[in-house]
Structure formats: structure tokens, C-alpha cells
Structure 1
Amino acid sequence: MTTELAGEAPLAKVKSRLKRALGPWGVFFEGFLKNPVMVGSIVPSSRFTINRVLSAVDWDNTKLFVEYGPGVGTFCQPVLDRLRRDGTLLVIDLNPDFIEYLSHTITDSRFVAVHGSAADVEEIIRAHGHEKADYIISGLPFSTLPPGVGPAIASATYRVLRKGGAFLVYQFTPRAGDFMAQFFKRIDKGLEWINVPPCFLFWGWKDED
């Protein structure tokens, strides 16, 4: 037992040093290895994908922007750069390593990181003093989520969005559109080629009644 622990200690130090050297890429890669079903990709989204996804947002009227599965924050700073001064960016992730990393690296007072499930978004935003979200973005891999989780997330997202808000989704397969179509009547679609791999884009709108 003692020998095993002695062997593990140097290995842990090497992993820690490698993680620090790689910075956010190291954290992202470790998260992918731990749970590839939830992370979905080994490579963060390109700036072309980020700009295109966020281009549909009415930033002047956005008070609460929510992100599912922020990872190491690829979208976080671009959102904060655009968000109004009295707005809030609330991110939700099941991976505690990602939440810890973001909490230590993003010091903006408008930023809130929550360890939890996207399916519980209604309870989470209310616990932080909000009733509705203006926009919600997600890169969660709908096609590989456990049975029932994708529809549960899409349903909760539709309920918690304000009228006129939107669910912004970027994926590597078109299946996310199938989950969204059960709840969103109007879905705009796109494809961003300058990404690894190319990315399917969806904007599901909660239209006014």
C-alpha cells in the first residue's frame, strides 16, 4: 500500500505541472478525459463560431445570459465583453473542476458560476434572484446525453426563457435541432466551417404569443 502511494505521488505532481503549463487547454483536456459524454469535444470553439452564435443577441435588452457547459470559459469573456454593465452571466456545469477554474480566473462581478445540471436551470436562476433568462447558450452534446436528459434540458430552457428570448446551440451533429423542435416553433439554422470540427448552429426563438 505504501509503495503504491509513493508511486502515485510523483505521478500526481507531473499531472499538476502539466495542467498548469497547458493552462485552460490542460483543464479542458482533463475534463474531456473524465467525462467525454458531457464535454463533447477536445477542442474549444473557434472565434468564428463564437462571433456567429452571439450575433443574434440583442445585448441592449439582455439582463440575464445563461450558459450550459461553459468548460474553461471559451464563450464567457466574449459574452461579458458584450453584456451590459448591470447584466449577469450565469454558467452551469456538472464538472466541479471547470466551475473551480472559472471561479478563480474570471473576477468580473457580473459572472456567476454554478455547479449543477442544466435540467435544473429554473431552480438555479431563481435561487440567484431571477425569474427569466433572456438568452441561454449551450454546447452540450445532445446526441450523447443519457436518455431523457436532452428533452428535459430543452423543455426547462423553453419554460425559463422570456418571450422574445432564444436558445443558442452549437453542436457537431444536427441532432440538437430534433430536441429543440419539440418545444421551439421557430429555429434558425447555420453551419460554421471554420471550427474543428465544423459546427452546426441553432437559434431557437421563444416568440411572442
Structure 2
Amino acid sequence: MTIPTAPAALAEAMAFLLQFARTARTTGSLVPSGAALSRALTRHIRPGSAHRPRAVLEVGPGTGAVTRHLAQRLGPYDTLELVEANGPFVDHLASALRHDTRLAAIAHRTRLHHGFVQDQRLGDYDNIVCGLPFANLPPAQVKAIVGQLLSSLRPGGRLSFFSYVGGRAGQLLDPGQARSRHVLREAIAPHVVGSEIVLSNLPPAYVHHLLVPARADCDCGATAPSSRTPASPA
């Protein structure tokens, strides 16, 4: 496995910073997700088999920081879909799928979609990793997207997403964030099985894991619910 060179990492960080300056509300962060956050978001992804391949969806992959960690967790028969609304990020990902050895290895079973997730016809997935900045989205859109993602999970499937620490302070500056976070908490409450805090990320973040229960007769291969204590997404 190759490690990104300093120039490549710097170029990726600069690309992210530029898009944040242009589209702050939908980009959500000044920098890509760090390694610790990427590991936390992908920790529940398990490789499938020839008998039962797994399907994984990443929403809002940005420049692919989490995608590279996710790729290491896929089995040889598993598939990946990426949905990204930012055009320059889509171009960056398309290039990475050709030239980054970590992503090129799974390019033949990866589909990259350019557009908003709410405009996509999604399939059925075993795992969904979401990098959307829910606090920056209108409440109705938050509720619709969370519902869309949960309904796209197979029984026993998991949805993992993150929110930044310090969100309550942001609500004082932007009351709209308070409404969006309230809607988010209500939408995920029945499904949260664990949350964790990643202090080493810049900025620090909470990671939340949601589970769609498996049927009693379903051999879904789901892992047991996490015993971590849920934390508030706000």
C-alpha cells in the first residue's frame, strides 16, 4: 500500500480549502477527514464473500480521505458506490480511481455518481458512510436524506456519519443549525447503537453508528450492536 507523498497530501488539502471557500455550507470543513476519523467511520465495514458480497455506499466522499480507508476493508467481491455533489471533487476522485494505487485496485467495482444524494436512485447497501454536513442543511432536507439512507440499508445494515464537536456554539451564531440538529437527533434516535468522539481529528468530531435491525430469519452477517455510549450529535 502506498502512502501519500507530502506534495500530494498538500495538494489535496489545498483543493479542499479552495472548495470550502467557495461552498462552505455544503463542504462543511476546511480540511479532509483525518486518519482517526476515517478509521472510526469505517470500523464496522466487514469484507463479504463470493457467496454473499457486500455493497457499500459513501455519500460526500470529498477528495477520498475516508474512501481510501474504506477500500482497505472491502473484500474482493464487494462493490462501492460514491455520491459527490461537488464537481471539482468528482474530478479529483475520478483521477484518484485511475492513479492512486489504493483506489485503482477497486476502480473496476466502484461507481462514482456526480450529484446530490437526494436526486439519486440508490440501491440496497450493507454499509453507508456519510460525510454530509447535516447541521448546514435545511431541516426538511436533513430528515429526507436520513430517511433515504436508512431505507437504503439492508436488514442488519449500518449507517455511520460524523458531526463536529462544538456544534452547540455554532447554534448561537446560526439558529438554523439548532433546528437542523434537532431534526437530526429525532431522525436517528431509534437507530443509534453507538457513538464515539475522535479528539485527534481537526476539528474534533463525534462519530455515530446507526443500525437497521436484521430480521430473525435473515443471515445478514451483522455484527453485534456497539456497547459504546451514545453521544449527542449536537
Structure 1 length as normaliser, TM-score? 0.79
Match of 2:36, SS state, is: helix
Aligned-residue offset at 1:105: 1.5
1:25 aligns with 2:13: yes
| 1:158-205 deviation digits (Å, cap 9, x = unpaired) | 111101001100110567685264256231111111111111110010
| 1:80-136 deviation digits (Å, cap 9, x = unpaired) | 121111222211111111111111121321222111112234x1x3xxxxx411111
CA distance in 2, matches of 1:70, 1:192: 18
1:75 aligns with 2:56: no
Instruction: Please tell me whether the aligned partners of residues 65 and 133 of structure 1 are also in contact (alpha carbons under 8 angstroms).
Output: yes
CA distance in 1, matches of 2:118, 2:188: 15
1:191 aligns with 2:197: yes
Instruction: Please tell me whether the aligned partners of residues 177 and 202 of structure 1 are also in contact (alpha carbons under 8 angstroms).
Output: no
For residue 66 of structure 2, what is the amino acid of its counterpart?
Answer: F
The aligned counterpart of 2:230 is none
| 1:35-90 deviation digits (Å, cap 9, x = unpaired) | 11111100111211111221122333662111111110001111112111122221
Contiguous gaps of at least 5 residues in structure 1: 1-19, 126-130
Contiguous gaps of at least 5 residues in structure 2: 1-7, 99-106, 168-179, 216-234
Instruction: Please tell me whether the aligned partners of residues 158 and 184 of structure 1 are also in contact (alpha carbons under 8 angstroms).
Output: no
1:64 aligns with 2:81: no
The aligned counterpart of 1:93 is 84
Tell me whether 109-118 or 157-166 shows the greater mean CA deviation. 109-118
CA distance in 2, matches of 1:198, 1:56: 20
Instruction: Please tell me whether the aligned partners of residues 138 and 169 of structure 1 are also in contact (alpha carbons under 8 angstroms).
Output: yes
Match of 2:65, SS state, is: coil
The aligned counterpart of 1:106 is 97
CA distance in 2, matches of 1:56, 1:62: 15
Q: CA RMSD in A?
A: 2.4
Match of 2:16, SS state, is: helix
Change (3 A) 1:165 1:177: farther
Q: Which has the larger radius of gyration?
A: 1
Instruction: Please tell me whether the aligned partners of residues 158 and 183 of structure 1 are also in contact (alpha carbons under 8 angstroms).
Output: no
CA distance in 2, matches of 1:180, 1:87: 31
Runs in 1 of length 4+ with deviation above 6 angstroms?
none
Instruction: Please tell me whether the aligned partners of residues 45 and 73 of structure 2 are also in contact (alpha carbons under 8 angstroms).
Output: no
Instruction: Please tell me whether the aligned partners of residues 142 and 183 of structure 2 are also in contact (alpha carbons under 8 angstroms).
Output: no
Change (3 A) 1:177 1:59: farther
Tell me whether 26-35 or 195-204 shows the greater mean CA deviation. 26-35
Structure 2 length as normaliser, TM-score? 0.71
Residue number among 162, 169, 178 corresponding to 2:161 in the alignment: 169
Change (3 A) 1:155 1:113: same
Residue number among 40, 57, 69 corresponding to 2:28 in the alignment: 40
